[in-house]
């Protein structure tokens, strides 16, 4: 969580403040030598987050100590405690901001990030990443606590009587998103060209999408390819799937084949 009033900084920004390369910052774990420096990210988060205010204060104090040939005695500004409506939360933290009785599973919540039926609001802030076609991609998304609470108050869910009644259907089908279809086609093309080396990370960089979304796109493309293979070869084996998709883990290939068989059977 990034508390209200704190300017977030990632490894790159921290390295810039201290005048070192980001590789050096990470390899030496330089942040561990700064007494009182708080890590703001939760355990298991993919990106370290610091307080920019603490980093700037630490850098100044380090330079002063260096000028007098002393060991720096860090006295950093405190990080606010408690909860505030403007706290910035990552995707998993945003789920836990919702009352327990109204929460969905983490997998469902991640699906909401790029969903079409139920979709989370756009992030309030993105840390890191790079700008492609006017949009920042590859960074870490955060939502204000109040943004998530307001969104949750308008949807129907566990313990929440508001929103569209359960079981109701759209009066008209949702129009296809041309960009989404173009992206899916590109994933299928890349899978055909690089079946054994295409990863979600590489796909995210190629398409400029979040890694979670890239993982979903890659899995859907693999499932579609196995389904097509089954149409021409009903006795397709796990070994065939591994060879065609460059998959090394037998259990993953077997699961994909089983799901493709079920999907094809349901379509008949």
How does pLDDT run across 133-187, given as a tens digit for each residue? 455 566 788 999 999 999 999 876 555 555 444 444 444 444 555 667 888 888 8
Per residue of the chain (268 residues), give pLDDT as tens: 999 999 999 999 999 999 999 999 999 999 999 999 999 998 888 889 999 999 999 999 999 999 999 999 999 999 988 899 999 999 999 999 999 999 999 999 999 987 778 889 888 888 887 655 455 566 788 999 999 999 999 876 555 555 444 444 444 444 555 667 888 888 889 888 888 888 888 888 887 776 667 788 888 899 999 999 998 898 999 999 999 888 888 888 898 899 889 888 866 6
Cβ distance 8 to 1 under 8 Å? Answer: no
Q: In the chain, which residue ranges form alpha helices assigned H by DSSP?
A: 11-18, 22-27, 52-67, 91-96, 106-113, 145-153, 178-193, 200-207, 211-232, 238-245, 250-267
Residue 230 lies in a domain: yes
pLDDT value at position 58? Answer: 96
- The alpha carbon dihedral of 254, 256, 261, 262 has a sign of positive
Of 118, 124, 174, 166, give the one whose Cα is nearest residue 145.
Answer: 124
Residue 87 lies in a domain: yes
Residue 167 lies in a domain: no
| 51, 4: one domain | yes
Tell me which of 45, 61, 79 is where a domain ends: 79
Polymer length in residues for the chain: 268
Residue 142 lies in a domain: yes
Phi first, then psi: give them for residue 141, nearest 5 degrees: -90, 145
Backbone torsion region of residue 138, taken as left when φ is above 0, otherwise alpha when ψ lies between -120 and 50, otherwise beta: left
Prediction pTM value: 0.58
Residues 6+ apart with CB under 8 A from 221: 184, 187, 188, 191
Compute how many other C-beta atoms are within 10 angstroms of the C-beta atom of residue 197: 9
Number of H helices, E strands in the chain: 11, 7
| 151, 96: one domain | yes
| 12, 74: one domain | yes
What is the Cα gyration radius of the chain?
23
b/e map 114-141, b = 16+ CB within 10 Å: eeeeeebeebbebbbbeeeeeebbbbbb
How does pLDDT run across 98-119, given as a tens digit for each residue? 999 999 999 999 999 877 788 8
Instruction: Say what percent of the chain tops pLDDT 90.
Output: 46
pLDDT value at position 152? Answer: 92
| 65, 96: one domain | no
| Range(s) of the domain holding residue 253 | 178-266
At residue 102's C-alpha, the angle toward residues 98 and 108, to 5°, is 90
| 3, 46: one domain | yes
């Amino acid at each position: 969580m990034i508390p209200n009033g704190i300017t977030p900084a990632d490894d790159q920004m921290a390295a810039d403040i201290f005048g070192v390369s980001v590789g050096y910052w990470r390899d030496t774990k330089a942040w561990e030598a700064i007494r009182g420096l708080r890590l703001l990210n939760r355990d298991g988060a993919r990106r370290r987050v610091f307080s920019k205010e603490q980093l700037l204060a630490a850098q100044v104090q380090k330079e002063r100590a260096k000028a007098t040939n002393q060991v720096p005695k860090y006295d950093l500004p405190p990080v606010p405690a408690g909860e505030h409506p403007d706290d910035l939360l990552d995707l998993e933290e945003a789920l836990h901001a919702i009352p327990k009785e109204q929460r969905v599973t983490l997998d469902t919540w991640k699906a909401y990030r790029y969903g079409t039926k139920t979709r989370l609001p756009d992030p309030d802030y993105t840390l890191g990443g790079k700008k492609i076609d006017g949009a920042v991609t590859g960074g870490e998304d955060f939502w204000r606590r109040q943004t998530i609470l307001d969104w949750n108050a308008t949807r129907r869910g566990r313990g929440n009587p508001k929103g569209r009644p359960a079981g109701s259907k759209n009066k008209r089908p949702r129009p296809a998103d041309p960009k989404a279809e173009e992206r899916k086609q590109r994933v299928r093309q890349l899978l055909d060209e690089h079946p054994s080396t295409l990863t979600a990370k590489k796909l995210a960089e190629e398409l400029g999408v979040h890694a979670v979304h890239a993982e979903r796109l890659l899995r859907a493309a693999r499932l579609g390819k196995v389904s097509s293979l089954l149409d021409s070869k009903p006795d397709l084996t796990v070994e065939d799937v591994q060879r065609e998709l460059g998959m090394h883990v037998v259990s993953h290939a077997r699961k994909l084949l089983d799901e493709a068989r079920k999907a094809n059977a349901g379509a008949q």
